Structure 1
């Protein structure tokens, strides 16, 4: 599926499953009604809002209000980068009357949004003066940054930020086995494993199924944490839907079964052309493989919970079976085929559809 944002207009009041659609509509109506009654500095009101320390520019041209925090920023910068912000700013909004230098005062439009201050701050950091000159100046963005940039980038059609963030996510939750082999861990650097729950939800939000198989697979390693999820920096809970939770429970068993079946199949028999025969007339390579299977018992926990695409040699003493060339080639080919077949089966194991999944994978037999 394409990583690009759809051309269709994305409503500013439609973040998924958070009950904010009605809230945004009420905020827009409130913004319009306030145009006939200029607001005073909210910090002076009981229980009033507070100014953000990082993004309050004295010559800013719009005040964004997220919950109880005000951000005074430059509407032109946001309008150039976001057609959604441009449309929002074009509407009639309420205003603040700001006092400075004695009796002097000026008015500034006020626009309320339903985003959290923490999320909005990540977006402004990417676009406002004083923020990072490039999103990827931070080589290892934390989950909350990626999450905010994808969710708000999708919502406000901030295309470059959205696409860079999605590219980073896909590089760690890839759609090809070759790319998965290049990933060092189950999650990006600096992330907690439980953040895979948030990755699944991001994939659901933007409709990008390519991310789901590996993100769901990562969730199967979380034990009880997959049920509880985690709390984002803005205090909102992040947990799987009941459907995805059920997928993880079922898939964990299916992946374990497939993993063990593949391993036993890899070490099932010697090559028909094996010429190493013991004094009893049995293939010496066959006996070596049977002995290797017998020695797997101490590794059963790792076999059940480890990366299902890990090399079989990880569980062989010294990583070497000492087979003849013909049998070693046969075993390597079986292993390569088993990995590719399991990778292709991931969507089916999780009960999801991913168009084109596995078509880019090749049987990586050794030459």
Structure 2
């Protein structure tokens, strides 16, 4: 808060206990404000009308007459908000008092703060926009996933999947969790594997660690019978070589080369919802490449449908019905 003006909180303990210093927000202390919100040790002076416009909780509260002995600061009533953080309120007020239009791609910290407080204080417009952004980033259908451009609804990178996972559990947004797990395991190039395997890493809860470990095993098995079933060229039921293959020996050799390359990756590649890798078809004849790709695409749909169960979660429909909104 820099050189923010300081005042004193009224003592709530005995006279020998020093008062906790209060800090006025330099960003959200308006001279024409008519109510003071006290969050932790920070005070915000804002307008009742702005709070009432966005929050039904504040609208109802501010309609009630103030007690005669209500504490005031500069003739403004002081409302102490327990259980909130000053950081969240600073970001929340950033949305209520924008210096410009809200960022087209807001950072996750802003979305988390707004959603956390808009849920508590009943600010439906803010809440719905934040939920929409999270559900757009982590959809529940393969069609929506395939149409999604990376990081167009939330500003971020592969390092924020874990914070988003913890936040989804905190607010009860269950339907986005399977895809977060999948991103952590399949699309982050092993970035999260040390956290998943290290039981002493407290950044990942026990239930999430178990779900990820279960997912690793289940997805490896699932992909072998779905997306990557075309690799099983030695089985009688193999899709390859195709019936109209132009070069059976060469196509089988190319498939086995792909198997060896996949086996050498660490951690092992998981190809359950990722798109077809064009390099897999190099060296195959056109009929075999098409057959392999058809098997892969059909497998992606099956994998998507089964994705929640791979982590021990209910099916998509139940997860969506259990979302807080």
Q: Choose from 214, 238, 251 the match for 2:215.
A: 251
Q: Choose from 259, 263, 280 the match for 1:296.
A: 259
C-alpha displacement of 1:311: 3.5
Q: Contact 1:187 / 1:193 at 8 angstroms: preserved in 2?
A: no
Q: Superposition pairs for residues 11-90 of structure 1, below 5 Å?
A: 43-44=7-8, 46-90=19-63
C-alpha displacement of 1:65: 0.7
Residue matched to 1:9: none
1:265 matched to 2:229? The reply is yes
1:179–1:52 Cα change, 3 Å: same
Residue matched to 2:290: 329
C-alpha displacement of 1:309: 2.4
C-alpha displacement of 1:183: 4.1
SS at match of 2:21: coil
1:193 matched to 2:158? The reply is yes
C-alpha displacement of 1:249: 1.7
Q: Distance in 1 between matches of 2:115 and 2:315?
A: 20
C-alpha displacement of 1:306: 5.4
Q: Distance in 2 between matches of 1:227 and 1:303?
A: 12
C-alpha displacement of 1:66: 0.8
Residue matched to 1:122: 91
Q: Deviations over 1:265-324 (max 9, x none)?
A: 123333663263xxxxxxx246404432334323432682456323343452xx434324
C-alpha displacement of 1:42: 6.7
Q: Choose from 197, 207, 224 the match for 2:194.
A: 224
Q: Distance in 2 between matches of 1:121 and 1:47?
A: 20
Q: Distance in 2 between matches of 1:208 and 1:44?
A: 39
Residue matched to 2:126: 161
Q: Deviations over 1:43-87 (max 9, x none)?
A: 146532010011001111110011010000011111122111223
Q: Distance in 2 between matches of 1:188 and 1:159?
A: 19
1:121–1:248 Cα change, 3 Å: same
Residue matched to 2:244: 274
Q: Deviations over 1:102-156 (max 9, x none)?
A: xxxxx1111111211111111111113xx24543xx1221121111111111111
1:266–1:272 Cα change, 3 Å: closer
Residue matched to 1:37: none
Count of aligned residue pairs for this structure pair: 288
Q: Superposition pairs for residues 132-151 of structure 1, below 5 Å?
A: 132-135=99-102, 138-151=103-116
Residue matched to 1:104: none
1:342 matched to 2:303? The reply is yes
1:95 matched to 2:71? The reply is yes
1:166–1:292 Cα change, 3 Å: same
Q: Unpaired runs of 5+ in structure 1?
A: 1-40, 99-106, 229-237, 277-283, 359-367
Q: Distance in 2 between matches of 1:111 and 1:298?
A: 63
1:208 matched to 2:173? The reply is yes
Q: Distance in 2 between matches of 1:346 and 1:213?
A: 7
